[in-house]
Amino acid sequence: MGNIIDLLVPDIGDFAEVPVVEIMVQLGEVLTPDTAVVTLESDKASMEVPAEVTGVVTEILVAEGDLVSEGSLLLRYEKGEGLRGEDSVVEPDKILKQKIVEVQVIKEQTNPLQQSVSVQPEKEKMSMNHGPAGPAVRRLARELGVKLADVSGSGPKGRLQKEDIRAYVKRVMQSGGPQKASYEEPIIDFSAFGPIETSPLSRIQRISGPQLAKNWAAIPHVTSFDEADITEIEAFRRELNQEQPVKLTLLPFMIKAVQNTLQVLPQLNSSLQGGQLIIKKYYHIGFAVDTPGGLLVPVIRDVDKKGLVQIATEVSELALLAREGKLKAEHMQGGTFTISSLGSVGGTHFTPIINAPEVAILALGRSSIKPQWKGSEFIPRQILPLSLSWDHRALDGVTASRFNVHLCRVLADFRRVVL
Ligand code: CAO
């Protein structure tokens, strides 16, 4: 006898009481690993719950419109005899003949945790990975072989419409067919050449990796380099650190100086959308935080309304939340520009990847003492390497260079932030 498998709603993050919008399988249907079984949809996003092992559906325990949360029982399916999991060859006819399926659709009443065998399709949280979409839109996407995650929704709250699917297909066809956003690794047995150790990517890496690859491949990046004289800021910072209890690193000064520069050059505080440049009149600055699980980018909101001490306090609070894995979605949303600093680690210039839908990102290297020619002699100054990556569709090199020049002037004389 095969095992009865309970398919439960996996960990879906902060979402609860999410409606089932589509049941994509029928009783008696053969599921293979990763067959999408049901679609859940919050008011913000959708996700498909997949089967994990091969089997035949014996009971469907929810109906469209039911509200489910993590752990809710969706359906039961039976691992067929002779089927040994993911690697098994599936012979649907044979399996179907072996099964006498009790055709009974039962609404969920039981506590899924009391079932004998329960399978969590993903051990870690699954993400709601695209805007909401109704059953008709999903059907159309399936017919055309379109992955919903690749399409941006034009409806309210990013809801996907049929037109979005058709426009996506048209764009892909006009651009000469689907483009691979990410490089597909060749399968190589490295152990044939020497000892190896294998470790899984973290959840953050698995989510951010494809996004980074997509941004890097899709956005025409140019990186403009510069060097800022931060000698005076460093003296001012040391002075302030003796006067008040909140430790000021260079980063809060950079956040403030960047906000001032964005006010002067607003094209860098923008997003491209539908053939237009949307310039934002608010200044929400994200900063990259290195965490044990990977890179996260919390956002400090309304930097123009905050002073250095408050910004420094928020930087350390958000960095701590990030490292403890406690950042919420709202801490990472709405950014208008990002700063990535490797100054505490070392190195000079590096080329950061733009954090779409933003159009520019600033990377900071480690500052060092360098000789600067001051008319008649070289004098030692504290010099900070700056690298600004910018989207060539949104701005050009002149604007990017002006940004760096203005930023360097503010950093050389921080009194300019109040101008
Ligand atoms: N040059 C020289 N020293 C620098 C510096 C710079 N550009 N930036 C920071 N430092 C110094 C700080 O002043 C501090 O020294 P003191 O204790 O003597 O004052 C020390 O480095 C440690 O700083 P910090 O890391 O505690 O604080 P921070 O505000 O500079 O940075 C944060 C905070 C969260 C940005 C940082 O901890 C971090 O996670 N950085 C990594 C970001 C990252 O991974 N970027 C790469 C993205 S691409 O993969």
Q: What is the pLDDT of residue 129?
A: 52
Give mean pLDDT, residues 385-413. Answer: 98
Which two tokens mark 319?
């960095």
Candidate from 3-7, 133-137, 197-201, 406-410 with smallest mean pLDDT: 133-137
The response to whether residue 416 sits with its C-beta less than 6 Å from ligand 1 reads: no
**CA 342–ligand 1 middle distance (angstroms):** 6
DSSP 273-294: ETTEEEE-SS--EEE-EEETTE
Query: Between β-strands 378-391 and 360-364, what pairing exists: parallel, antiparallel or unpaired?
Result: antiparallel
**Which of the two residues, 176 and 29, has the higher pLDDT score?**
29
Name the percent of the chain in helix, strand, coil, to the closest 5.
Answer: 30, 25, 45
Kindly state the percentage of the chain with pLDDT values over 90. 58
Q: What is the pLDDT of residues 12-49, one digit of tens each?
A: 877 788 888 888 888 888 888 877 888 887 766 677 88
pLDDT level of residue 93 (50, 70, 90 thresholds): very low
The response to whether residue 161 sits with its C-beta less than 6 Å from ligand 1 reads: no
What are the CA-CA distances from residue 47 to residues 149, 203, 212, 268 (Å)?
A: 9, 16, 21, 33
**CA 341–ligand 1 middle distance (angstroms):** 6
Out of 314, 341, 353, mutate this one to test ligand 1's pocket (max ligand atoms within 8 Å of CB): namely: 341
Would you tell me how many other CB atoms lie within 10 Å of the CB of residue 410?
A: 23
Torsions phi, psi of 381, nearest 5?
Answer: -130, 155
Candidate from 2-11, 214-223, 348-357 with smallest mean pLDDT: 2-11
**Which of the two residues, 359 and 25, has the higher pLDDT score?**
359
- Tell me how far apart the alpha carbons of residues 40 and 130 are, in angstroms, rounded to a whole number: 11
Asked if 392 is an active-site residue, the reply is: yes
Residue nearest to atom 11 of ligand 1 (CA): 344
**Helix (H, G, I), strand (E, B), or coil: what is residue 251?**
helix
- Tell me how far apart the alpha carbons of residues 23 and 75 are, in angstroms, rounded to a whole number: 10
Candidate from 67-71, 216-220, 338-342 with smallest mean pLDDT: 67-71
The response to whether residue 304 sits with its C-beta less than 6 Å from ligand 1 reads: no
The response to whether residue 250 sits with its C-beta less than 6 Å from ligand 1 reads: yes
Task: Catalytic residue, from 130, 221, 331, 392: name it.
Answer: 392
The response to whether residue 364 sits with its C-beta less than 6 Å from ligand 1 reads: yes
**CA 343–ligand 1 middle distance (angstroms):** 5
**Which of the two residues, 43 and 197, has the higher pLDDT score?**
197
**CA 414–ligand 1 middle distance (angstroms):** 20
Per-residue pLDDT for 90 more than 80?
A: no
Question: Highest mean pLDDT: which of 66-75, 96-105, 154-163, 280-289?
Answer: 280-289
- Tell me how far apart the alpha carbons of residues 25 and 31 are, in angstroms, rounded to a whole number: 8
Per-residue pLDDT for 218 more than 70?
A: yes
Q: What is the pLDDT of residue 141?
A: 85
Cis, peptide link before residue 156, omega less than 30° from 0: no
Torsions phi, psi of 233, nearest 5?
Answer: -60, -40
